[in-house]
Structure 1
Amino acid sequence: MRFVTFELAGQARLGLMSGGEIADLTGEAGEPLSLMALLQAGEGALAEAANRAVTAPRHPLESVKLLPVLPRPGKIICLGLNYAEHAAEGGRERPDYPNFFMRGATTLIGHGAPVIRPRVSVQLDFEAELAAVIGRRVPRHVAKTDALSFVAGYACFNDVSVRDYQRRTPQWTIGKNFDGTGPFGPAFVTADELPPGASGLHIESRLNGKVMQSANTRDMLFPVDETIMLLAQCLTLEPGDVLVMGTPAGVGFARTPPVWMKAGDTIEIDIEGVGLLSNPVADEA
């Protein structure tokens, strides 16, 4: 199943994507329905909502505005340096423990929305990443062997970074939290449609059609199951939390000369079986 969050008449709505159409899953009385609500409702809620698609009104995909698949996640936990070659291109050693950092929901944008290059910097960089969405409350100290049972699905993510701000402090937080720098979508793909842990999938970024990053999710140093196990040693993961799983080599800052995104560019994140996330780039007004 492939769920999308889209906007119609100023209201965020939940849809099921099939081919070039979206089935509108909004309730009969017009009450809003969200992916977050379904995740919080527990096992079977996603499939039950998808059953509405048979009789639901449909919209051509190109006629609607797509929003982030989860516009307001509970927590957005990101991993840095989770591919060995990306760590090396930045002059870093292979980490022994994940480099965790947080993103805020106000950074998020949907497929097709512009990535915003801020007034204060030109160092706007791309990062193709897989996002895993938690579907059930994860108990503390969960075993690695059980961890994937708590993942509801996956999506594409672009962990756009403002590099000079990222390096202004020992922590990366500020450079990862500019408004309009977190493309997330286009669809939420349920875990049953993908290999366990979404491993073995080709992941790629393209800037104006040119391949910049090309790797495989099996190359992650800390895969999804191990990441959940390690986080559960420290904190509680809840339905609707998002894990953004790190980027492979080929980012703009590591090139000679560096490649920064600018207004008029188009950046695409393409993950096999998950989707194609595409966004133009615009300057901050």
Structure 2
Amino acid sequence: MRFARLGALGEERPVAVEDDTFYDLTPLTDDITGAFLESGGVHRARAAREAGELPVIDGAGRRIGAPIARPSAVYCVGMNYAAHAAESGARPPENLVMFMKAPNTVVGPYDDVAIPSGSEKTDWEVELGIVIGRRASYLGSRDEALEHVAGFVLANDLSERAWQLETSGGQWGKGKSAPGFSPTGPWLVTPDEVDWSDLRLRSFVNGEPRQDSSTADLIFDVPYIVWHLSQHLALEPGDLILTGTPEGVALSGRFPYLRRGDVVELSIDGLGAQRQVMV
């Protein structure tokens, strides 16, 4: 099943999506939140749709917001593709690298993104995102991990590389947390609809190809990431985990950094596509 949120920023309406039809979820919930996911919202939405209890709404011309309301946390995995680690000047990590982004970086997949004032090295990163559906703390094994996953999303982990690496003081957060730096969606797709282990990821800037890889190349895969993070922190329903980006970013030195007017397009098979204009 696919879920989305339609409407102006701060006024999004939760919907279920089948083909090109939008089904209103407000009879079940005010929004797609952690509480909705944890309380069996996916099952209730599916049952209500099959029973014909969800009204059809017209989504034409309406803004598509992030498919989840603001998460309590955005966790990110760094250098999780060997080729990307190499283009960053690093070896593939032996231990999972985690950093965090501010939750208010999460915006819609087609929203304009403002290049931060003073930025010279704003970069794109197409990523598979995991949305947590049940609280996960000290999971016994990676075999339990997918029981705590509500679904998957497409995300752009935008980064200001100078602030991340040159003036960071050793932490990455300053280069990762500018407003709008986590475009997410268009859909939250439940695990039964996608094979997370082999999804094609692509990105383009002004129509020119940049990244083209597969989640099959992840160093640390989805179950391991969820299990591993649960050993160090409590993952809450609605939390977003970004799993890392493949090679082909501006940090490699092969491409220019983003400038005003540039158009960034990203896609992951089964999870939809995004388009952002840099302003």
**TM-score per shorter chain, which class?**
over 0.9
Q: Which residue of 2 aligns with 1:224?
A: 222
Aligned AA (1:263):
R
1:91-134, Cα deviation, whole Å (9 max, x unpaired) = 10110111100011111110210111112112111000000111
| Unaligned stretches of 5+ residues in structure 2 | none
Q: Which residue of 2 aligns with 1:277?
A: 274
Between stretches 214-223 and 102-111, larger displacement belongs to: 102-111
Query: Which of 77, 87, 93 is residue 75 of structure 2 equivalent to?
Result: 77
Query: Which of 248, 262, 266 is residue 265 of structure 1 equivalent to?
Result: 262
Q: Which residue of 2 aligns with 1:233?
A: 231
Q: Which residue of 2 aligns with 1:172?
A: 172
Offset of residue 157 of structure 1: 0.5
Query: Which of 149, 152, 170 is residue 151 of structure 1 equivalent to?
Result: 149
Q: Which residue of 2 aligns with 1:34?
A: 32
Between stretches 106-115 and 135-144, larger displacement belongs to: 135-144
Q: Is the 8 A contact 1:12 1:32 kept in 2?
A: no
Q: Is the 8 A contact 1:27 1:33 kept in 2?
A: no
Between stretches 68-77 and 49-58, larger displacement belongs to: 49-58
Counterparts of 1:181 and 1:138, CA distance in 2 = 26
Counterparts of 1:138 and 1:9, CA distance in 2 = 30
2:186 aligns to what SS in structure 1?
A: strand
TM-score by length of structure 1 reads 0.90
Distance 1:207 1:17, change over 3 A: same
2:171 aligns to what SS in structure 1?
A: coil
Between stretches 148-157 and 46-55, larger displacement belongs to: 46-55
1:65 aligns to what SS in structure 2?
A: coil
Q: Is the 8 A contact 1:212 1:251 kept in 2?
A: yes
Q: Which residue of 1 aligns with 2:45?
A: 49
Counterparts of 2:54 and 2:228, CA distance in 1 = 41
2:135 aligns to what SS in structure 1?
A: coil
Aligned AA (1:270):
S
Counterparts of 1:73 and 1:10, CA distance in 2 = 14
Aligned AA (1:244):
L
TM-score by length of structure 2 reads 0.92
Counterparts of 1:141 and 1:26, CA distance in 2 = 33
1:214 aligns to what SS in structure 2?
A: strand
Q: Is the 8 A contact 1:74 1:238 kept in 2?
A: yes
Counterparts of 1:150 and 1:10, CA distance in 2 = 27
Q: Which residue of 2 aligns with 1:246?
A: 244
- The 5 Å alignment of 1:96-135 reads 96-135=94-133
Q: Which residue of 1 aligns with 2:187?
A: 187
Distance 1:141 1:52, change over 3 A: closer
Distance 1:27 1:141, change over 3 A: closer
Q: Which residue of 1 aligns with 2:16?
A: 16
Counterparts of 1:275 and 1:68, CA distance in 2 = 12
* Structure with greater proportional strand content: 1
Offset of residue 60 of structure 1: 4.0
Q: Which residue of 2 aligns with 1:5?
A: 5
Aligned AA (1:49):
A
Aligned AA (1:46):
V
| Unaligned stretches of 5+ residues in structure 1 | none
Q: Is the 8 A contact 2:185 2:271 kept in 1?
A: no
- Identical pairs, percent: 34
2:175 aligns to what SS in structure 1?
A: helix
Aligned AA (1:262):
R
Aligned AA (1:17):
V
2:86 aligns to what SS in structure 1?
A: helix
| Alignment coverage as a number of residue pairs | 275
Aligned AA (1:13):
R
Q: Which residue of 2 aligns with 1:212?
A: 210
Aligned AA (2:145):
A
Q: CA RMSD in A?
A: 1.8
Counterparts of 1:199 and 1:246, CA distance in 2 = 14
